[in-house]
Structure 1
């Protein structure tokens, strides 16, 4: 009887040990799965962060969701369908090649092309050209780039026109980059650009390549375009405020869609370039040229609260296709820094655009003190834009007076 009792106790202990081993096995499996899950979540977080950082510098790429080659797709099918592989001429496919492809799409770095390792840090590169925030400010967010109207962003770029004008400019680094040759027919009586001219001799010229850009608060159409309540009103207000500081200003309010026969949006800067050349040719004292636009970003990205009042933030756009773009950047930087001092948060910064992101010249080859200014966004109001026009006039006048 005693032996049977001992045997029973030993059996129970053995069973308990087996259960404990089984429980420990479950625990190990659970811990392993938990660690794998955490690793997976961390990797997703790192990937999201990298994607955010890359998109902040490079907004025109589809990252890891574009340019999948047909051969890569065929290779994936062949891995699972041997019959398909036996009837196709396929490139060699492997997980390593897929990994290289993913690495290139996520980071824009190709292990097969060493130049790509430094391309993202260079302004111009044989691999890819970047459009970036050149100078940020208190009101800037590197991840939020200027945005064209959605209905216009698909318009093709007039590359032929750009090539022609850049061939005209060439690599001329003369001391007077803003001098414009006057056509023979303009020498005796140069054409005056359509618009409003001040009584004083103008030193600033204000125009609007996309003159119908308006705001949701002023229009009822989807694209916020208007023939009357548009960005030209802000240009006129800027001129009026400059006049109060003793600076003469001339404003073009040309409505290009009606003034130009067979108007096409992709030729916008070709039309406005003629306007700028006529203004410079007819006024030899012009020093500053401003092309005022309205951004299409949402209100939360284009509004600043200063001393209890809301302002439409500004973004200075520099076309890096212009061989002398650094001179224009230096001019924009003066305005940006003055705004930072006196209206903190009003400037979103200076954004450089290259050939991959639009026109990238913006008539800035005509003057070293020419800059495109995005005033507010599609959700801002005309009143907020007027406040910004006054702030711009204040700092422009100060820069003019300091430089004599």
Structure 2
């Protein structure tokens, strides 16, 4: 009898430790429901996208992801070899919170070692022979050179003003297309090519106020005009610190969109920081500056922009095999991530050549890009005038 009473006392639910445990359990459950409800409410106000799940799970290693899915999909356990490991729940929590995979040293060092973060950039479509060593890289000029460029910047009176390019073309007797479909600009307008800079051989200093990427953008606009697509080229340098240039160029793009509702494509032309062996491709014996397309995922238009970039890449592969290095996806963690691409679903950033290419090589690529865009445009918009000399 005494023994039975002792067992009953051990299960007494009124003890202070048991009450404390239940209080914590109830509080924990309440917090989970609050956060779940809050998250559901936020998501209900936005369009659901598959990319949301992708961004949420991007910090997970493939092995952890498969382990999680296998708990709900038994087929995975029979078809995929999954190592049995303890502590899956704690590892899942750790990887989601830190984006670090304890079994992959790159995730520890990627943010600390220069160049290591490149492995976070996604290669959406790879060109011929392209791997992670071909990923385009943005680099700022040294502080002293940036200061000098800002001090010496002297844009021409007409440079960048609406209609300035049209006036120049009219003065030269060239017929231009009145309806402007393409807006071309250069966020990093001072990016240049070493062979074009007298006495300069350091890739870190391949920048100039006059001989720069804007000359390539002008050629791209001219070739589009020749093919029957009206193009407006903005050639005024943006007055801002390097890390604020995208905000400055964004204002210009918004202004252009407000002034001309016919604009359909927005192209930000850049120059890559890679050396010649990574940025040059020969076609029929002629050297071309390779081209790469960068899509930022930190905006709601990224999937449409990526689709457009894929189309241009595929068209270049068809017309100029090997010229395009591919389409690269960057989040805010690997760079700006926005690139003004939230403004339009047909907005792309293109890298034409690297520090060791020449204007002649970059011009050939600009002509190729113009042809690819023209063919895509006229396939989608047959009511427009046909290209004169595709």
Q: TM-score range by the shorter chain?
A: 0.5 to 0.7
Asked if 1:135 is matched to 2:125, the reply is yes
CA distance 1:397–1:147, change in 2 (3 Å) = same
Asked if 1:206 is matched to 2:184, the reply is yes
Contact 1:206 1:292 in 2 (8 A): yes
RMSD over aligned Cα atoms: 2.8
Query: What residue is the counterpart of 2:227 in the other structure?
Result: 245
CA distance 1:111–1:305, change in 2 (3 Å) = farther
Q: Can you give the 5+ residue segments of structure 1 that lack an aligned partner in the other structure?
A: 1-109, 122-126, 154-190
Asked if 1:149 is matched to 2:145, the reply is no
CA distance 1:307–1:285, change in 2 (3 Å) = same
Q: Supply the distance in 2 between the matched residues of 1:193 and 1:386 (Cα, whole angstroms).
A: 24
Query: What residue is the counterpart of 1:218 in the other structure?
Result: 196
Give the superposition deviation at 1:347: 0.4
Give the superposition deviation at 1:254: 0.8
**Equivalent of 2:237 in 237, 240, 255:** 255
Query: What residue is the counterpart of 2:17 in the other structure?
Result: none
Asked if 1:335 is matched to 2:318, the reply is no
CA distance 1:320–1:193, change in 2 (3 Å) = farther
Asked if 1:353 is matched to 2:330, the reply is yes
Structure 2 counterparts to residues 36-47 of structure 1, below 5 A: none
Query: What residue is the counterpart of 1:21 in the other structure?
Result: none
Q: Supply the distance in 1 between the matched residues of 2:164 and 2:235 (Cα, whole angstroms).
A: 5
Asked if 1:196 is matched to 2:144, the reply is no
CA distance 1:300–1:116, change in 2 (3 Å) = farther
Q: Supply the distance in 2 between the matched residues of 1:395 and 1:372 (Cα, whole angstroms).
A: 15
Contact 1:332 1:371 in 2 (8 A): yes
**Equivalent of 2:295 in 318, 337, 343:** 318
Contact 2:183 2:233 in 1 (8 A): yes
Query: What residue is the counterpart of 1:231 in the other structure?
Result: 213
Aligned residue pair count: 249
Instruction: Determine which structure has more spread, i.e. the larger CA radius of gyration.
Output: 1
Contact 1:195 1:253 in 2 (8 A): no
TM-score normalised to the size of structure 1?
A: 0.57
CA distance 1:378–1:241, change in 2 (3 Å) = same
CA distance 1:113–1:264, change in 2 (3 Å) = same
Contact 1:328 1:368 in 2 (8 A): yes
Give the superposition deviation at 1:117: 7.3
Give the superposition deviation at 1:242: 0.6
Q: Supply the distance in 2 between the matched residues of 1:393 and 1:250 (Cα, whole angstroms).
A: 13
Query: What residue is the counterpart of 1:305 in the other structure?
Result: 282
Q: Can you give the 5+ residue segments of structure 2 that lack an aligned partner in the other structure?
A: 1-87, 102-107, 111-116, 144-159, 167-175, 382-390
Asked if 1:284 is matched to 2:266, the reply is no
CA distance 1:401–1:231, change in 2 (3 Å) = same
Contact 1:141 1:348 in 2 (8 A): no
CA distance 1:115–1:347, change in 2 (3 Å) = farther
- Secondary structure in 1 matching 2:132: coil
